[in-house]
Chains A and B, each alone.
Chain A
Amino acid sequence: MENTILAAVNIVKYFYDPVKVKVLNGVNFSIHRGDFVSIVGKSGCGKSSLLYVLSTMDTDYEGDVLIDGISMQQKKEPYLAKIRNEKIGFVFQFHYLLNEFTVLKNVMLPGLKLHKYSEKEVEARAYDKLKTLGIADLALKNAARLSGGEKQRVAIARALINDPDIIMGDEPTGNLDKKNSELVFDIFKQLSHELNQTMLIVTHDPDFAAKTNRIIRMEDGKIVNEEKNLVG
């Protein structure tokens, strides 16, 4: 009996602007703890839209999202914020660090928000995560001064700070060169192997997808095909 951490139950989503479009058309799947899953599909097939629904940021959909068995439908905004803070780590295509803060503070902020550990402990944990990703020496730099690859690694460290149940990524390597893409992918793989971290990554890089445990293929807002991959 496997342990389901995230489940999409018949998710349907429309966009109304400029005309009513069904962008997600009944998506069903579930992810177990420790899974390293990729979602692939043509540009515009609804991958990002799905990910925003799953991440609880988008609440305008039909169907249900279950995180750790709890329905996210009809939940209030502060509750969803808390879920994101505690259970989900997010990595975006464009690195989205807060330029007003140092690298260390960027990583610490979700941890300070969670308020489970003291500030000192959060700082120690943040250093720890940065070390794992090999960028501890950047800790005190201003976030705006990093290269793209470095920023993305900081974003991953930030996603890890609260030991989330699942990490979601929307084309995290989409904006990186070959070398940095590989570096970031290696990090994901390392997280999967060594920490047994659950991850759901949207990508349209077939090489990337090929190295994950499971590939979900989408077309026109629907899952058309799933492959188990034993390579990873």
Chain B
Amino acid sequence: MNLKLIVNIAQSLLRARWRQTLVAAVGVTFGITMFIALLSFMSGLNDLLDGLVVNRTPHIRLYNDIRPRQYQPVTLWPAYQNSYPVISSLKSGNIRQEIYNSGPIIRALQQNKQVMGVAPTITAQVFFNDGTVDINGVINGINVAAETRLFHFDDYIVAGKASNLNTVPNSIILGKALAEKLVANVGDIVQITTSTGAIFQLKVVGFFQSGLQDFDKAQSYASINTTQKILGKSSLYITDIRVKLYDINQAPALAKSFARIYGVDAEDIQTANSQFETGSFVRSLISYAVGITLLIVAGFGIYNILNMMIYEKMDTIAILKATGFAGRDVKAVFLVIAIAIGLFGGITGLISGFGLSVVINHIPFHTAALPTVKTYPINYNPLFYFIGISFSLITTYLAGWLPARKASKIDPVIIIRGK
């Protein structure tokens, strides 16, 4: 088959009907534009919402859970070796929350090739004293540098500076909602009472806002040293080790192996936050569904135009066949027309889809919950553009296939006699 000739004939037919083909192409353009813009926007939102949690959640968290001892003394008693003991009113024993040997564990984790970084933390349950009222809260003792590097701690600081926790002794960063409750400003002193009754005064050096209001109402941050002091513990006292991996998908497997090796509890992010993946998945699904629907509608447009064109060009088809073009040549001509429409509509769709994404990305979007976000988020993933152009070509090919087949089956005798 002589492709150059086929393309040449297709071109001439297109030119003779350029208005209708333009309409068909615009249909595809519209479909692809919406597809790209919708997917980029939805995916941007997904990243943003996931980021709310994922950025600040360790891929694996090592800790000691409070729970009853697995081996009760009775199970060690030789006389009961072959029995099933029934113990009532079992209480959690004095398992300590502290991670034993935290120093060597942290060093070992830092050597691990799959681990991006490690951030040790302590949590302390405290009361913030506000006049006569006590507000329940948590102080997270953190390593500021590690938190910032691994969990974007800096991004959520809306007043003051994160590094002040290291430089100012006995300092604290309050959740914005908590600070509002305490009517505390940066530079003020807040008073806390620990669960053992000790009273401390801490200087407020900043506010943070996570985007999760409930979280911000109770949480605050201090340096590890300050927190250890508040709890009256030694400088070895660590309750949590937060681990970030290079590959988040390795988290469940690695969590299991860390738990075994280090004799601690380990929780992976997938187990801790399964609902977020579901949300992202559903949003993506909706955008793909809408995008593909638009393309199918565009496909029907192409189908119509081609059918009309074939109806109008019966004579042309008959003459081509009479002068020696085979059915497959005629079919190829109309498939080329369909694909040309798809390609033109698709490429302009990609361009205007990108344009629309840029416009959306510049629309101001302020929300108290998301301090770092100023405009609507867009994910400029090249994959969407690849899928877009592939879909447009596939849809137009399918839309063109039936009419093209019909054209190839036209009997020239009927047409030529019919005049």
Contacts and interface: CB of A to CB of B under 8 A. Distances in A.
Interface of A: 48, 52, 55, 57-58, 77-78, 81-82, 84-86, 90, 92-94, 96-101, 105, 109-110, 112-115, 158, 162, 170
Contacts of A58: 413
Nearest to A81: B326
A57 B322 contact: yes
A93 B419 contact: yes
Q: Is the interface of B mostly helix, strand, loop or mixed?
A: helix
Given A93-B419, A96-B315, A100-B16, A78 B5 contact: no
A57 B413 contact: yes
A94 B321 contact: no
Interface in B323-341: 323-329
Chain B interface size range: 20 to 34
A113 B319 contact: no
A195 B321 CA distance: 26
Contact of A78 (B13, B320, B328, B417): B328
B5 A112 contact: yes
A114 B324 contact: yes
A158 B324 CA distance: 12
A90 B320 CA distance: 11
A137 to B, nearest CB: 22
A85 B417 contact: no
A153 to B, nearest CB: 16
B69 interface: no
Contacts of B12: 98, 100-101, 105
Closest 10 CB pairs of A and B: A85-B324, A81-B326, A78-B326, A100-B12, A110-B323, A100-B16, A84-B324, A94-B419, A52-B413, A112-B5
B324 A110 contact: yes
A81 B321 contact: yes
B92 interface: no
B413 A81 contact: no
B5 A96 contact: no
A115 B182 CA distance: 89
5 contacts: A55-B322, A57-B322, A78-B328, A85-B325, A99-B16
Contacts of B412: 57
B70 interface: no
Contact of A96 (B13, B324, B416): B416
Given A94-B419, A101-B12, A77 B326 contact: yes
A201 to B, nearest CB: 16
Contacts of B326: 77-78, 81-82
Nearest to A161: B323
A90 B323 contact: yes
Nearest to A110: B323
A12 B128 CA distance: 107
B416 A113 contact: no
B149 interface: no
Contacts of B419: 93-94
A113 B324 contact: yes
A115 B324 CA distance: 12
A25 B413 CA distance: 19
A57 B316 CA distance: 15
Contacts of B260: none
Nearest to A109: B323
Contacts of A115: 2, 5
B292 to A, nearest CB: 34
B334 to A, nearest CB: 14
A199 to B, nearest CB: 17
A87 to B, nearest CB: 9
Given A58-B413, A78-B327, A100-B13, A113 B2 contact: yes
B148 to A, nearest CB: 68
B354 to A, nearest CB: 35
A93 B320 CA distance: 16
Nearest to B330: A81
B417 A86 contact: no
Given A98-B316, A101-B12, A113-B5, A92 B416 contact: yes
A186 B13 CA distance: 34
B374 interface: no
Given A48-B417, A100-B12, A112-B2, A77 B327 contact: yes
Contacts of A101: 12
Most chain B beta-carbon contacts within 10 A, residue among A86, A98, A99: A98
